[in-house]
Amino acid sequence: ARSNSALGKGLLSLLASDKLDDEVWEEIEDTLLGADVGIADTTEIVARLREHVQVLGTRSPGELRRLLTEELTAALEPEMDRSIATISPTGEGPATIMMVGVNGSGKTTTCGRIARVLIADGNTVIMGAADTFRAAAAEQLETWGSRVGAEVIRRGEGADPASVAFDAVKAGADTGANVVLIDTAGRLQNKAGLMDELGKVKRVVEKQGPVAETLLVLDATTGQNGLQQAKVFGEVVQISGIVLTKLDGSAKGGIVIAVQRQLGVPVKLVGLGEGPDDLAPFEVGAFVDAIVGGADS
Amino acid sequence: MFDALSERLSGIFESIRGKGRLTEADIDATAREIRLALLEADVALPVVRTFIAQVKERCKGAEVSKALNPAQQIIKVVNEELVGILGGETRRLNYAKNAPTVIMLAGLQGAGKTTLAGKLAKWLKGDGHSPLLVAADLQRPNAVGQLQIIGERAGVTVYAPEPGSGIGDPVKVATDSIAEAKQTGRDVVIIDTAGRLGIDEEMMQQARDIREATSPDEVVFVIDAMVGQDAVNTAEAFRDGVGITGVVLSKLDGDARGGAALSVRHVTGQPILFASTGEKLEDFDVFHPDRMASRILGMGDMLTLIEQA
Ligand SMILES: Nc1nc2c(ncn2[C@@H]2O[C@H](COP(=O)(O)OP(=O)(O)OP(=O)(O)O)[C@@H](O)[C@H]2O)c(=O)[nH]1
Ligand SMILES: Nc1nc2c(ncn2[C@@H]2O[C@H](COP(=O)(O)OP(=O)(O)OP(=O)(O)O)[C@@H](O)[C@H]2O)c(=O)[nH]1
Ligand SMILES: [Mg+2]
Ligand SMILES: [Mg+2]
């Protein structure tokens, strides 16, 4: 499904007729817009592509596809470091990784899956259930904890999320765990009170030392609102990386091009299903291929 | 980034004003701006295309070209077309002739189905019904527990014979819930199902099986207002794969423009029944097409714009 060709036969036949006219450019533009890349980035990418095509005198579909792939790849800044920090910035105590994002994006699932990878790598992991709001959120994290072998620190519903997070980091330090994962409640970025609460969670955690990673969990089906999410979450809790979930569906997740640029940090991981192993490093090549449909040709 | 449509259009209207007659170029320029506004609002491309064609068609007709103020008329046309698509015939929930009425919820992962189940149950209860919530999501970790807590908050009984988190047969739970409702005198059954992708054949088959086993009076498709271009694919997949009789737009308390509303309406032809506007059980409203139209176009008040034109 990931290679669902968007830029497919239509383009081929348009180019075969040997005229690189407006129809071709429109199809390319539509391909990007249809992948949620957004008007600003689409316009920019297509403008650069047109320039290259003109300079190079490109005429073959394969060549055009290759150039588009290059433009998209460049826009995703493949040279960025996409590794997850698993060592505390001070070198002391556990590395704390916080999951933040809007409601239902996949934070809790991502917590469980990152824990799984880290544990398989020989780390000891503690998870903090700092979503004390949503019904059965802590239980959900506990289920993940028992699936992957991580201890979960939780309190009752309605408890102060910052103090649960604090306790989890403290438990991590006390027991000599390598990594503490903090799951937070979903919140929409236009809710000032909830965003303040999130800021507080991070500040309280940082009383015990800097956070190693703050990951913005973004649903691949998200449209242009993703940029607003990045803006506001970035302001409130300095994001260090993006996790793009639900990339196993039909959505392409093109908004991350703008989101990466907005935050100046890379997409580090992708979610490819609901299971414990459905987490993978973000690969620029595969992501771009899914948009361009290059994998099919 | 991009200005609200009102700002973008004001320049064009400036040049139209006083002309008395609209040229084809004026209409095209306006259409281009509206196209951008719709795309910014996440309305899916094919839907934008159809919509713009319709608007242009009407603008070239007599009602606009002969109007005293053509610019005003264009905005009115756009607004009318939008409200038309979003609204259609608004209707109440379908109730069964013989109780219980069955309402099945379906949608992508994390869309807001379980939360909506609680909202619907509470709302129906307030309306004098006695609903039964059915925990037929046996996949997502602790979905059953989540529904139980929500049911408790709503003061509504939850039928949850299976522990879930991978254990139990959702089709059987859904099927048995009907008998349970009859036996306990419940007149509405609300079936919460697992989130699923439109392209997941196995899970879509399961949804079909639940539907066939329970013959719902409503199959409600729940979709997140933040969804982008994929709204069309997903709506088509659920329309064809499960069958949809109504739509609920969730997370409308956010600041997404919500163009998905237009896409889903266009694709399914089914009415948007409710708006889900928060995490609490009372954050729930009937759907207002006119408000949604203004929101999609990024115009606080359509009337102001018409006056300005
Ligand atoms: N298909 C698919 N489903 C996913 C993926 N990641 C998470 N999900 C599902 O999405 C839904 C929401 O995931 P959660 O992890 O609960 O999301 P959350 O961000 O913690 O949600 P809240 O805490 O309610 O804000 C669940 O049904 C998950 O199984 C993914 O990569 N692919
Ligand atoms: N702000 C806001 N949050 C909502 C709304 N509806 C649901 N949510 C939140 O969105 C998240 C997902 O909601 P659920 O009801 O669990 O979604 P679901 O469709 O049942 O998810 P799955 O069962 O995993 O597919 C939770 O954090 C809810 O509290 C809404 O209208 N507004
Ligand atoms: Mg969660
Ligand atoms: Mg659910």
Least confident of A140-144, B63-67, B242-246: B63-67
Torsion angles phi and psi, residue B140, rounded to 5: -60, 135
Gap between the Cα atoms of A272 and A279, Å rounded:
6
The token duo for A50 is: 């047109």
CB A172 within 8 A of CB A181: no
Measure CB to CB from residue A30 to each of B45, B142, B230 and give the nearest one.
Answer: B45
Kindly indicate the confidence band of residue A59, based on its pLDDT and cuts at 50, 70 and 90: confident
CB B223 within 8 A of CB B260: yes
CB A101 within 8 A of CB A217: yes
Kindly indicate the confidence band of residue B60, based on its pLDDT and cuts at 50, 70 and 90: confident
Kindly indicate the confidence band of residue B33, based on its pLDDT and cuts at 50, 70 and 90: confident
Sole residue written with tokens 């619907």: B120
pLDDT at position B163 over 60: yes
Angstroms from A31 CA to nearest CA on chain B: 10
Q: Looking at ligand 1, which atom is closest to the CA of residue A272? A: 31
pLDDT at position B302 over 70: no
CB contact under 8 A, B39 and A250: no
Q: Count CB neighbours of B33 within 10 A.
A: 17
CB contact under 8 A, B226 and A219: yes
Q: What pLDDT was estimated at residue A12? A: 58
pLDDT at position B210 over 60: yes
Least confident of A149-158, A180-189, A278-287, B149-158: A149-158
Q: Which of B8, B4, B142 is nearest to B71 (CA)?
A: B8
The token duo for A210 is: 């800097």
Gap between the Cα atoms of B37 and B2, Å rounded:
8
pLDDT at position B114 over 60: yes
pLDDT at position B6 over 70: no
How much is the ipTM here? Answer: 0.94
- Residue B21, chain A, CB below 8 Å: the answer is no
Ligand 2 pocket, residues with Cβ under 6 angstroms = A 103-104, 134, 186, 188; B 107, 109-115, 137, 140, 143, 195, 250-251, 253, 276-279, 283
- Residue B263, chain A, CB below 8 Å: the answer is no
pLDDT at position A58 over 80: no
The token duo for B294 is: 């203004």
CB contact under 8 A, A224 and B40: yes
Q: What pLDDT was estimated at residue A297? A: 40
Q: What is the pLDDT of residues B287-298, one digit of tens each?
A: 999 889 888 887
Measure CB to CB from residue B255 to each of A190, A219, A249 and give the nearest one.
Answer: A190
Kindly indicate the confidence band of residue B299, based on its pLDDT and cuts at 50, 70 and 90: low
pLDDT at position B261 over 80: yes
Binding-face residues of B in 188-217 toward A, CB within 8 A:
197-199
Q: What pLDDT was estimated at residue A2? A: 32
The radius of gyration computed from the CA coordinates of chain B, to the nearest angstrom, equals 22
- Residue B60, chain A, CB below 8 Å: the answer is no
Kindly indicate the confidence band of residue A4, based on its pLDDT and cuts at 50, 70 and 90: very low
pLDDT at position A17 over 70: no
Q: Which of B47, B86, B82 is nearest to B229 (CA)?
A: B47
Q: What pLDDT was estimated at residue A57? A: 82
Ligand 1 centroid–CA A249 distance in Å is 13
pLDDT at position A28 over 80: yes
Share of chain A above pLDDT 90, in %: 82
Phi-psi region at B272: left, alpha or beta (left = phi > 0; alpha = psi -120 to 50): beta
Residues of A with CB under 8 A from a CB of B: 1, 30, 33-36, 38-40, 102-106, 133-136, 139-140, 143-144, 188-191, 219, 221-228, 246, 248-252, 255, 274
What average pLDDT does range B60-88 have in this prediction? 78
Cα→Cα distances A46→A27, A39, B53, Å: 11, 10, 24
pLDDT at position B89 over 60: yes
Ligand 3 centroid–CA A131 distance in Å is 7
CB A106 within 8 A of CB A238: no
Find the ligand nearest to A249 CA.
1
Q: What is the pLDDT of residues A38-47, one digit of tens each?
A: 999 999 999 9
CB A208 within 8 A of CB A173: yes
Q: Looking at ligand 2, which atom is closest to the CA of residue A186? A: 27
Mean pLDDT of chain A: 92
Q: What is the DSSP string of chain B?
A: -PPPHHHHHHHHHHHHTTT-S--HHHHHHHHHHHHHHHHHTT--HHHHHHHHHHHHHHHHSHHHHTSSSHHHHHHHHHHHHHHHHHHSS--PPP--SSSPEEEEEEESTTSSHHHHHHHHHHHHHHTT--EEEEEE--SSTTHHHHHHHHHHHHT-EEE--S-BTTBS-HHHHHHHHHHHHHHTT-SEEEEEE----TT-HHHHHHHHHHHHHH--SEEEEEEETTB-TTHHHHHHHHHHHT--SEEEEE-TTSS---THHHHHHHHH---EEEEE-SSSTT-EEE--HHHHHHHHHT-S-HHHHHHH-
CB contact under 8 A, B226 and A226: yes
Gap between the Cα atoms of A149 and B107, Å rounded:
31
Kindly indicate the confidence band of residue B26, based on its pLDDT and cuts at 50, 70 and 90: confident
Kindly indicate the confidence band of residue A169, based on its pLDDT and cuts at 50, 70 and 90: very high
- The amino acid present at B289, given as its one-letter code, is P
